[in-house]
Chain A
Amino acid sequence: SQTIHQWPATLVQPVGSPLSLECTVEGTSNPNLYWYRQAAGRGLQLLFYSVGIGQISSEVPQNLSASRPQDRQFILSSKKLLLSDSGFYLCAWSGLSGTGGTYEQYFGPGTRLTVT
Chain B
Amino acid sequence: DAKTTQPPSMDCAEGRAANLPCNHSTISGNEYVYWYRQIHSQGPQYIIHGLKNNETNEMASLIITEDRKSSTLILPHATLRDTAVYYCIVRVASWAGGFKTIFGAGTRLFVKA
A interface residues with partner B (beta carbon < 8 Å): 32, 34, 36, 43-44, 46, 49, 51, 59, 88, 90, 92, 94, 96, 100-110, 112
- A90 x B43 contact (CB < 8 A): yes
Q: In the complex where A101-B94, A102-B49, A104-B49 touch, is A44 in contact with B99 (Cβ < 8 A)?
A: no
Chain B's interface size range is 20 to 34
**Contacts of B52-96 to chain A: CB distance below 8 A:** 93-95
Interface contacts beyond A46-B100, A105-B46: sample of 9 additional A-B pairs, CB < 8 Å, sorted by A = A43-B103, A96-B95, A103-B93, A104-B34, A104-B46, A105-B36, A105-B101, A107-B45, A110-B43
Alpha-carbon distance A34/B102, docked complex (angstroms) = 11
Q: Of B32, B34, B43, B99, which is in contact with the most chain A CB atoms at under 10 Å from its CB?
A: B43
B interface residues with partner A (beta carbon < 8 Å): 32, 34, 36, 41-46, 49, 93-95, 99-106
Instruction: Tell me what chain A mostly uses at the interface: helix, strand, loop, or mixed.
Output: strand
A107 surroundings in chain B (CB, below 8 A)? 43-45
Q: Of A32, A51, A96, A105, which is in contact with the most chain B CB atoms at under 10 Å from its CB?
A: A105
B36 surroundings in chain A (CB, below 8 A)? 105
Chain A nearest CB, measured from B95 CB (Å): 8
Q: In the complex where A43-B104, A43-B105, A43-B106 touch, is A103 in contact with B99 (Cβ < 8 A)?
A: yes
B46 surroundings in chain A (CB, below 8 A)? 104-106
Alpha-carbon distance A13/B85, docked complex (angstroms) = 28
A102 surroundings in chain B (CB, below 8 A)? 32, 49, 93
A46 surroundings in chain B (CB, below 8 A)? 100-103
Alpha-carbon distance A105/B98, docked complex (angstroms) = 13
